Structure 1
Amino acid sequence: MDNSTTSSSSSSIVGLDIIPDPENNQVIIFRQNNIQHVVDIDEDELNIELGLDFN
């Protein structure tokens, strides 16, 4: 009996849309697998704000 195992790994691009919903005090997350289109973003145009504020 052969007890050896083989494993393989592959990488994929997953797109996430994170939409705050302050009225219901929740965050909606849309996930899309197998993104075929990659968009280049200029670092100067990138504006990221961390944290959630529902007040």
Structure 2
Amino acid sequence: MNNSTTSSSSSSIAALDIIPDPENNQVIIFRQNNIQHVVDIDEDELNIELGLDFN
């Protein structure tokens, strides 16, 4: 009989803060384990609406 062991690893994010930085066209993403990722974005891709739209 051939016994084999398969192992896999995966990671998950427990807490996530996303902070927009439109002056630098970036979004800063903070994870719970204190690793910081900065994602560059184009101004055309940034579509944020605040408030309610009743139209």
TM-score tier by shorter-chain length is: 0.3 to 0.5
Contact persistence 1:20–1:27 (CA under 8 A): yes
Please report the RMSD computed on the Cα atoms of aligned residues, expressed in angstroms.
12.8
Contact persistence 1:15–1:35 (CA under 8 A): no
Contact persistence 1:25–1:54 (CA under 8 A): no
Inter-partner Cα distance in structure 2 for 1:41 and 1:51 = 23
Contact persistence 1:12–1:34 (CA under 8 A): no
- CA 1:39–1:27 in structure 2 vs 1: closer, same or farther (change >3 Å)? closer
What is residue 34 of structure 1 aligned with on the other side? 34
Q: Deviations over 1:15-52 (max 9, x none)?
A: 11000001001100001149999999999999997999
Q: Secondary structure at the match of 2:34?
A: coil
Which is strand-richer, 1 or 2? 2
Q: TM-score, normalised by structure 1?
A: 0.41
- CA 1:11–1:40 in structure 2 vs 1: closer, same or farther (change >3 Å)? farther
5+ residue gaps, structure 2, are none
Inter-partner Cα distance in structure 2 for 1:23 and 1:39 = 13
